[in-house]
Amino acid sequence: MESRIDNRKFKRVTRRELLKLAPVLAVGAIAIPKLQEPLLKAGLGFSDWASALLFRSRHLATTFADSEVVPFEKFPINGYDVEDPGVDLEAWTLTVSGAVQKPGQYKLAQVHSLPRVRQNTRHVCVEGWDVIGRFGGARLSDFMQMIGADTSARFVYVECADDYYESLDMVTALHPQTLLCYEMYDQPLTREHGAPLRLQIPTKIGYKQAKYLTDLRVTNVLDKVGYWEDQGYSSFYSL
């Protein structure tokens, strides 16, 4: 019933079993300095690919009652550099270029002329904190229509007065809750929150929501992805 072997043979059996675990050592490749960066980049890239797959273009982020919104002074001001890049609000225009029928300088009044959307949504920072705020502005998708954007292009790229820059995939750019935001708490955007115009995207992480916009380009090619992305953050980071 029970087989009997001598202890030398048993040693061979256990050694063989031990060797069969060698594939586990493959994860040790990540400890090799030369391979570490490309492997982590691949992992991040795979996560971004999965994020894009999971993103539902018609699925709305939860909106909240006015009573759940934090007071304005408790809404954090997160600038990477300066809180006020000194935008000349009177002379400000948004420079539109790329795959659009009507490139050129757009005034704030033109953004104001689009239907205004106000939404109480959660702002999630990559650091881990979150706040529910009240935002108002025009749908980016409406603005895209105004400028005659080719919505089969892949990205919307923006530049800011403080040299910050960002990009959005087209699906997120056309999402109904993605705003060109000019209001917080029903008041014109203050300078430290990105006056006169910022992105507000309840389906994306905070660093995607660039402030003090100056340029907007519709494009298929990105030389740079975003200020933080180019230092190693996720490119897609949808919530």
Partner 1 sequence: MSEAVIEIESPKTGEVQAAVYEHPWAVRFAHWLNAVSLLVMVASGFQIFRAFPSFGAKIPQKDLLLWPKAFALGGWLGGGLQWHLTFMWIYIATGIFYLGYQVFSRNYRQVLFTPRDVRGVWPMVRYYFFFGPKPMVREVYNPLQKLAYTSVVGLGVLSLLTGLAVWKPVQFSWLAWMMGGFHWARIWHFAVMWAILFFVFGHLVMVVLHGWNNFMSMLAGWKKNPDYLGR
User: Which residues of the chain form contacts with partner 1 (CB under 8 A)?
Assistant: 2-8, 10, 13-15, 17-18, 20-21, 23-24, 27, 30, 39-44, 46-47, 51, 54-56, 59, 61-62, 70, 73-76, 122, 124-131, 202-203, 228, 231-234, 238-239
Ramachandran class of 140: left when φ > 0, alpha when ψ lies in -120 to 50, beta otherwise: alpha
Least distance in angstroms from the C-beta of 159 to partner 1: 21
List Cβ neighbours of 128 (8 Å cut-off, separation of 6 or more): none
Smaller CB distance to partner 1: residue 15 or 118? 15
Sheet with strand 155-160: strands edge to edge: 104-106, 94-98, 213-219, 155-160, 165-169
Residues ≥6 apart with Cβ < 8 Å to 190: 184
Q: Least distance from C-beta 75 to partner 1, angstroms?
A: 8
Minimum distance between the CB of residue 7 and partner 1, rounded to whole angstroms? 5
CA torsion 175→155→199→58, rounded to 10°?
A: 10
The minimum distance between CB 202 and partner 1, in angstroms, equals 7
Nearer to partner 1, 99 or 210 (CB): 210
- If the CB atoms of residues 1 and 109 are measured against partner 1, the closer one turns out to be 1
Q: Based on CB atoms, which residue is closest to partner 1, 177 or 214?
A: 177
CA 3 – CA 85 distance, rounded (Å): 81
